[in-house]
């Protein structure tokens, strides 16, 4: 990859894609290609073919997908499986047929079996049943990963897969119905603080454990892997350390300055009990994340406050559904 390489970032409005775009700009890449969903619907095979044929990208960071938190996944299974399958098939196939040098596909830690041993090792993929609340998304992401491996074996296409842990950061989706836990709780706690409320409702028991990584660290890992990893096996990206949802809520309350109570609504699903990655493959190659949780939460909250101030006419921060996360 050099600074004149043509780089296509799919899902550049999303959390992962926008961080990758920021990073590529920072490094000085001159030919960064992006398309909004209205400019290019990645579910439309003919449109995707035409795009690759005319733009001829050299490298593809494939960060697009229909994503959402536990509620969105559970209530829109048909959308999650269909959109993500179509997007994976269209982009990977068109990239290969149009001579892309290398493609990086983003999977997710939620494609691991629900009860796989923790920390999750890459070898545990496809060894057991999935978490039912997100199996639709997971099946589509697993199919994308397998496509990368199949195209590598049959055609020698250099397609690699990274499996990031839960991401957070600027540009996240803060819509309470569809958001992941971190942005959802950040918004709820900020609103409770502003309203001088006595308590905030946290879904579930608060005991599930999750790992969180700042999106710019993922972008750093993507550039690293594009330059230094050419293997068939998917690679985990994260910290390898986790905390409970209760602890996360308490950390967010600290960042916001909220001193009220945390109430746990046990009628809401907990999802998978624990999700922490074994990151030894990537650290073995020489990569480490840098932005610790306290710093990342502070940066995210600063961004959230700024974007709320900038858009106080709007009801909430808009989300582009073609973006990446678990
Ligand atoms: P998951 O990591 O795929 O299970 O998806 P989420 O990020 O949506 O949820 C993670 C955990 O956080 C689950 O145990 C949720 O019940 C819990 N949680 C607590 N409060 C919230 C909330 O306000 N929104 C979401 N999405 N999850 C919450």
The whole-number pLDDT of residue 318 equals: 38
Which stretch of DSSP H or E encloses residue 225? helix 215-228
pLDDT top residue among 43 and 73: 43
Testing ligand 1's pocket by substitution, the residue of 168, 191, 209, 271 carrying the most ligand atoms inside 8 A of its CB is: 271
Choose among 212, 215, 197, 105: nearest CA to 150. Answer: 105
The whole-number pLDDT of residue 309 equals: 82
Counting from 1 in the atom list of ligand 1, the atom nearest the Cα of 188 is: 23
pLDDT tens digit sequence for 45-103 = 999 999 999 999 999 999 999 988 778 788 899 999 999 999 999 999 999 999 999 99
Least confident range of 86-90, 188-192, 292-296, 319-323: 319-323
CA–CA distances in Å: residue 166 to residues 195, 236, 275? 29, 11, 9
At 115, is the secondary structure helix, strand, or coil?
Answer: coil
Asked whether the predicted pLDDT for residue 26 surpasses 60, the reply is yes
Asked whether the predicted pLDDT for residue 147 surpasses 90, the reply is yes
pTM, full prediction: 0.91
> Which whole number is the average pLDDT over 221-225?
98
The whole-number pLDDT of residue 272 equals: 83
Choose among 64, 124, 66, 122: nearest CA to 92. Answer: 64
Q: What percent of the chain has pLDDT over 70?
A: 95
Handedness of CA 190, 191, 195, 199 (dihedral sign): negative
The whole-number pLDDT of residue 315 equals: 47
Averaged confidence pLDDT in the chain: 93
Q: Is 214 a catalytic residue?
A: no
Counting from 1 in the atom list of ligand 1, the atom nearest the Cα of 268 is: 16
């Amino acid at each position: 990859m050099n600074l004149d390489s043509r780089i296509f970032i799919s899902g550049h409005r999303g959390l992962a894609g926008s961080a990758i775009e920021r990073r590529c700009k920072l490094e000085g890449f001159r030919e960064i290609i992006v398309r909004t969903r209205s400019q290019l619907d990645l579910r439309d095979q003919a449109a995707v073919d035409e795009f690759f044929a005319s733009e001829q990208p050299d490298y593809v960071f494939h960060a697009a997908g229909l994503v959402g938190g536990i509620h969105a996944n559970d209530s829109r299974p048909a959308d999650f499986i269909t959109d993500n399958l179509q997007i994976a098939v269209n982009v990977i196939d068109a990239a290969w047929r149009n001579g892309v040098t290398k493609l990086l596909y983003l999977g997710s830690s939620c494609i691991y079996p629900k009860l796989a041993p923790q920390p999750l090792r890459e070898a545990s993929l496809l060894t057991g049943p999935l978490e039912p609340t997100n199996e639709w998304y997971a099946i589509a992401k697993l199919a994308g990963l397998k496509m990368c491996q199949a195209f590598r074996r049959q055609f020698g296409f250099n397609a690699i897969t990274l499996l990031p842990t839960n991401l957070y950061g600027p540009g996240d989706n803060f819509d309470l119905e569809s958001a992941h836990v971190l942005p959802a709780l950040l918004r709820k706690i900020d609103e409770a603080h502003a309203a001088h409320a006595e308590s905030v409702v946290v879904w579930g028991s608060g005991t599930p454990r999750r790992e969180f990584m700042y999106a710019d660290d993922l972008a750093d890992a993507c550039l690293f892997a594009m330059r230094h990893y050419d293997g068939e096996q998917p690679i985990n990206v994260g910290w390898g350390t986790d905390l409970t949802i209760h602890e996360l809520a308490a950390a967010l309350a600290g960042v916001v300055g909220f001193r009220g109570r945390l109430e746990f609504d046990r009628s809401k699903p907990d999802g998978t009990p624990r999700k922490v990655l074994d990151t030894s493959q990537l650290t073995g190659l020489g990569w480490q994340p840098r932005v610790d949780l306290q710093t990342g939460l502070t940066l995210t909250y600063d961004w959230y406050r700024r974007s709320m101030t900038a858009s106080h006419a709007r009801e909430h921060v808009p989300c582009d559904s073609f973006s990446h996360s678990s």
